[in-house]
Chains A and B, each alone.
Chain A
Amino acid sequence: MKRYEWMVNYTPQTVWIEDKGIFIWIALYAGIFGGGSYLIALFFHNLLGMFISWLAVLVFKGGFTILHSHYPLKLWRVIYRPLTSWISKGFIITMLFVIFGAIQLGLSFWMPGAGVEVIFEVLAGIAALGLIIYTGFTHSYVTSIPFWRSPLLPTLYVLLSLSTGFVINISVVNAMSVDITLMSTIGAVLLIISLILLFVYLFIAIRIGMAAKQSVKELVQSDTSIVLATVGLLFGILIPLTMLMMIIFVNGIGYLSFAITAAYAITIGGLAFTYLVLKVGRYNTLI
């Protein structure tokens, strides 16, 4: 963008996608990945899945948040405005998830079935749900970027998170203890709903205003975005959906290779989708 076009044309959002802003992208996706996977693992009592999700949030979300901040030792100040700031809410939710999740994992490993384990399962589950939800609201709170300002965006993130959760857990769950076909069916349904909702979201975005329309145009017309959109759609939805359909087709027999392929694909697709949402955000013009 040329200097004289700044805020006269639809100016792109750059601070959360360029330079150190790239860490925000990974931290946001880690929350979606970890929250959804943890919630589904909790539901199916899959300890390995819970541990992987918890570790992903701790290492990737926590690590990249620290890397992004110029003053990581001052990050504790982020708790000061939970009533108005989604960053503050998200930080508190993440901390609660890490703490409750750690306690719950320990209790599930050493004291399975104890009453206190159930309490921490509920607390960790609520924190995981908060982790999924807050990412979308961090975006939709930004009224200055019309493409983000939609109630469908948090919904899309929730669906993405839950479908990621199902796919990841299928690849790590003990096949003797759960119905793989059922998990695959639910995962596939969630992916189909995500695909439909994605097109609805884009359809509505075109009609919100010129800035949002420009974002959609950027999504389908610019070279980078076309590649990423293809990667996002292909890896995020189509490949995992195909793999889940194969698992359902073979009735769960020899499912592991399909599940692992789907897990890798949905992770790449989720990263691509999160990146695209950040990249194509456009501000309204001022004059």
Chain B
Amino acid sequence: MTRWGMVIDLKKCESCYACEVACKQEHFLPPNIFWNRLLVVEREEQSVPKKLVYPILCNHCKEAPCIKACPTGASKRREDGIVVVESDKCIGCQYCVVVCPYQQRSYHADNKKEYFPGQGLTELEVIGQKIYPHRPGTTIKCNFCVERIDKGIQQGLKPGIDRQATPACVITCPAKARYFGDLDDPLDNVSVLIKNRNGYQLRPEFGTDPSVYYIE
């Protein structure tokens, strides 16, 4: 069974924020909502300052607490492992937002919030609300660009290899630090990377079994 996952190479990541912007553009995300973020922190290791950069997004966890917490069944896990929110079922209780240990869910309050307050919605925002509408009063989150994946598979393309079928953040990365593929296929690029380069999950002690791995 396919289980889509992502591997992020922290050594290659340049913290250029291209993934964050690409995701914003791809999904016409409202102001202050990010599905892809970079966590940047400085730590001292053996008296040497070190900059740690972690690109984070929804981990599409195998044991997702958000799915269990959802009272309406709006949050569900597809057969291919992608966790999606069916906005027509979501009532906006935000319990899934509270419960997520990675805080990768956002509550979209309304469509009237402008990127430039007091100046009305820009043409791009107006078009974006038509092309990729986000239902106000519901929870939204990264969906691994599920539309691209589904359309690509229909056209016989391979997600993770063919650009049109691969998530926007993966194909945008100028350092090619992101890989996308089938975690359940031992021969897939992502599985090989995790095995050969000791891929690890972020905060495995949360017990959610994320589908996003990191390599260094």
| Interface residues in chain A, defined as those with a beta carbon under 8 Å from any beta carbon in chain B | 4, 6-8, 11, 13, 15-16, 19-21, 24, 68-71, 74-75, 77-81, 84-88, 91, 138, 141-145, 283-284, 286-287
Give the distance in Å from the alpha carbon of A4 to the alpha carbon of B52 in the complex.
12
* B127 contacts partner chain A, Cβ-Cβ < 8 Å: no
Interface string of B130-157 (1 = CB under 8 A from A): 0000001110000000000000000000
* B81 contacts partner chain A, Cβ-Cβ < 8 Å: no
Give the distance in Å from the alpha carbon of A79 to the alpha carbon of B73 in the complex.
10
A19: B residues at CB distance < 8 A: 109
Q: Are B137 and A287 in contact (CB under 8 A)?
A: no
Task: Given A70-B91, A283-B101, A284-B203, check contact A77 B109 (CB 8 Å).
Answer: no
A283: B residues at CB distance < 8 A: 101, 103
Q: Are A78 and B72 in contact (CB under 8 A)?
A: yes
State the Cβ distance, B33 to closest chain A Cβ, in Å: 13
Give the distance in Å from the alpha carbon of A78 to the alpha carbon of B101 in the complex.
22
- Between A and B, 9 residue pairs with Cβ closer than 8 Å are A6-B37, A7-B39, A24-B94, A68-B92, A71-B92, A78-B91, A78-B93, A84-B67, A144-B98
What is the total of A-B residue contacts with beta carbons within 8 Å?
A: 111
B203: A residues at CB distance < 8 A: 284, 286
| Interface residues in chain B, defined as those with a beta carbon under 8 Å from any beta carbon in chain A | 37, 39-41, 52, 54, 56, 65, 67-74, 89, 91-95, 97-103, 107, 109, 136-138, 202-203, 206-207
Give the distance in Å from the alpha carbon of A8 to the alpha carbon of B70 in the complex.
26
Give the distance in Å from the alpha carbon of A80 to the alpha carbon of B93 in the complex.
14
Give the distance in Å from the alpha carbon of A287 to the alpha carbon of B10 in the complex.
13
State the Cβ distance, B185 to closest chain A Cβ, in Å: 28
State the Cβ distance, B36 to closest chain A Cβ, in Å: 13
Give the distance in Å from the alpha carbon of A164 to the alpha carbon of B74 in the complex.
36
Q: Are A80 and B99 in contact (CB under 8 A)?
A: no
Closest-by-CB residue of A relative to B41 is A8
Task: Given A144-B101, A283-B101, check contact A71 B137 (CB 8 Å).
Answer: yes
Q: A-side binding surface: helix, strand, loop or mixed?
A: loop
Task: Given A15-B98, A77-B89, A141-B99, check contact A70 B69 (CB 8 Å).
Answer: no
Task: Given A78-B93, A80-B71, check contact A287 B39 (CB 8 Å).
Answer: yes
Q: Are A286 and B109 in contact (CB under 8 A)?
A: no
Task: Given A71-B137, A143-B65, A287-B54, check contact A15 B71 (CB 8 Å).
Answer: no
Max chain A C-beta neighbours (<10 A), residue from B39, B71, B92: B71
Give the distance in Å from the alpha carbon of A11 to the alpha carbon of B56 in the complex.
16
Q: Are A87 and B89 in contact (CB under 8 A)?
A: no
10 closest A-B pairs by beta carbon, nearest first, are A70-B137, A144-B101, A88-B71, A77-B72, A87-B71, A84-B68, A85-B71, A78-B71, A15-B94, A70-B92
B107: A residues at CB distance < 8 A: 15
Closest-by-CB residue of A relative to B139 is A15
Closest-by-CB residue of A relative to B137 is A70
A75: B residues at CB distance < 8 A: 91
Q: Are A70 and B138 in contact (CB under 8 A)?
A: yes
Give the distance in Å from the alpha carbon of A91 to the alpha carbon of B93 in the complex.
12
Task: Given A11-B103, A283-B101, check contact A85 B94 (CB 8 Å).
Answer: no
B95: A residues at CB distance < 8 A: 85-87, 138
A71: B residues at CB distance < 8 A: 91-92, 137
State the Cβ distance, A144 to closest chain B Cβ, in Å: 4
Q: Are B136 and A70 in contact (CB under 8 A)?
A: yes
State the Cβ distance, A18 to closest chain B Cβ, in Å: 10
Instruction: Point out the residue from B68, B91, B202 that lies within 8 Å of A77, measured CB to CB.
Output: B91
B68: A residues at CB distance < 8 A: 81, 84-85
Give the distance in Å from the alpha carbon of A74 to the alpha carbon of B89 in the complex.
8
State the Cβ distance, A83 to closest chain B Cβ, in Å: 9
